């Protein structure tokens, strides 16, 4: 049996070293020669910590001491010990005590796990690339969503987003027995602003109106650019007149005012009409039509007031 063992150890695909209690190498198998690049004849009789300098550390000496005295196996991982044999190979090291003729010998098994490290590293690279691509995709989705649902010039909702929320808010009002307000806002004499100060300034004025409406409304209200100089505002969850009045008062303050844009002093005035579900209609179409009608009444009143002021 003893004569078979060296033959077996020579065939094993693990680096095998046998050492004495005082660390002298008594056996060094062919796989260990390949792992370390050191021939058996060069190392036999030498101290293992001199042949493999990575073992010249307190943790190794104390492991040897423990192994000799208690006999329980020791394990060193390739991850925590990067250059146990040489920098090109990652190896796990298992140490066991073998009693021969009443004396302790130590069996050191070096298991090559370099391929495992390479595979895991490749997988991590793939995961990292996928995660990067995923982030890019999410960014693009946000841009697409922005383009699909928001007005390019003013940044407020477009009609597609308005339609989405209009249906949702209408169902909510129906289910909860609340009112849904719909405000129709028109920028008076916007053509004149464009013709007088140029389209570039006109665009900026339109953006200011969008901001003014957004700042005057609540978090869940939806401000939408409906057409060239028209905006719609959805006001969900109106329970009392007071809920609406608070918003209306904030808009009223800014409804007629001078603004300075691109160095021009511009007179800005808004005509506003508002309709409510269910009193003015039960569909969004009804509510828009009614609010539009009220908005024209408001525009007419404002013009009459202006004429009266001028004739006085």
Which residues contact other proteins by CB under 8 A? 57-59, 62-63, 66, 70-81, 92, 94, 113, 116-117, 120, 124, 127-128, 131
Nearest-angstrom CA–CA distance, 296 and 103? 108
Beta bridge partners of 98: 105
Instruction: Give whichever of 43 and 48 is closer to other proteins, judged by the CB atom.
Output: 48
Structure tokens at 91: 């190896």
Minimum CB distance to other proteins, residue 124 (Å): 8
Instruction: Give whichever of 81 and 290 is closer to other proteins, judged by the CB atom.
Output: 81
**CA neighbours closer than 13 Å in the CB half-sphere of residue 58:** 0
Instruction: Provide the CA 304 distance to its chain's centre, in angstroms.
Output: 55
Instruction: Give whichever of 50 and 116 is closer to other proteins, judged by the CB atom.
Output: 116
Instruction: Give whichever of 75 and 264 is closer to other proteins, judged by the CB atom.
Output: 75
Minimum CB distance to other proteins, residue 110 (Å): 13
Minimum CB distance to other proteins, residue 103 (Å): 18
The residue whose two tokens read 């021009």 is 264
Minimum CB distance to other proteins, residue 264 (Å): 51
Helix (H) or strand (E) holding 161: helix 159-176
Cβ distance 202 to 193 under 8 Å? yes
> Which string of DSSP letters, residue by residue, matches 213-240?
HHHHS-TT-EEEE-SSSEEEEEEEEE-S
Instruction: Give whichever of 68 and 172 is closer to other proteins, judged by the CB atom.
Output: 68
Minimum CB distance to other proteins, residue 79 (Å): 5
- The total number of residues shown for the chain amounts to 312
Minimum CB distance to other proteins, residue 114 (Å): 11
SS3 126: helix
Instruction: Give whichever of 92 and 298 is closer to other proteins, judged by the CB atom.
Output: 92
Nearest-angstrom CA–CA distance, 99 and 93? 19
């Amino acid at each position: 049996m003893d004569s078979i063992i060296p033959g077996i150890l020579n065939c094993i695909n693990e680096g095998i070293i046998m050492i004495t209690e005082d660390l002298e190498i008594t056996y060094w198998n062919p796989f260990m020669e390949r792992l370390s690049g050191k021939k058996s004849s060069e190392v036999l009789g030498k101290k293992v910590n001199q042949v493999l300098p990575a073992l010249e550390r307190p943790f190794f000496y104390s492991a040897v001491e423990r192994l000799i005295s208690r006999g329980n196996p020791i394990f060193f991982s390739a991850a925590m010990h990067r250059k146990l044999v040489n920098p090109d190979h990652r190896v796990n090291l298992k140490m066991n005590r073998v009693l021969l003729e009443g004396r302790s010998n130590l069996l050191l098994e070096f298991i090559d796990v370099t391929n495992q490290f390479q595979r895991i590293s490749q997988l991590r690279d793939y995961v990292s690339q996928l995660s990067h691509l995923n982030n890019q995709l999410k960014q693009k989705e946000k841009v697409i969503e922005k383009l699909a649902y928001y007005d390019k010039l003013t940044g407020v909702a477009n009609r597609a987003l308005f339609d989405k929320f209009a249906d949702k808010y209408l169902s909510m009002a129906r289910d909860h027995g609340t009112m849904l307000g719909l405000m129709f806002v028109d920028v008076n004499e916007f053509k004149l602003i464009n013709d007088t100060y140029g389209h570039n300034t006109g665009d900026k004025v339109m953006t200011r109106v969008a901001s003014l409406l957004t700042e005057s409304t609540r978090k869940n209200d939806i401000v939408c650019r409906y057409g060239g100089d028209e905006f719609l505002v959805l006001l969900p969850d109106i329970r009392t007149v007071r809920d609406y009045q608070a918003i209306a008062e904030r808009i009223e303050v800014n409804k007629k005012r001078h603004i300075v844009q691109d160095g021009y002093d511009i007179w800005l005035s808004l005509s506003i009409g508002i309709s409510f579900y269910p009193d003015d209609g039960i569909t969004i179409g009804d509510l828009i039509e009614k609010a539009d009608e009220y908005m024209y009444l408001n525009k007419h009143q404002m013009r009459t007031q202006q004429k009266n002021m001028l004739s006085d």
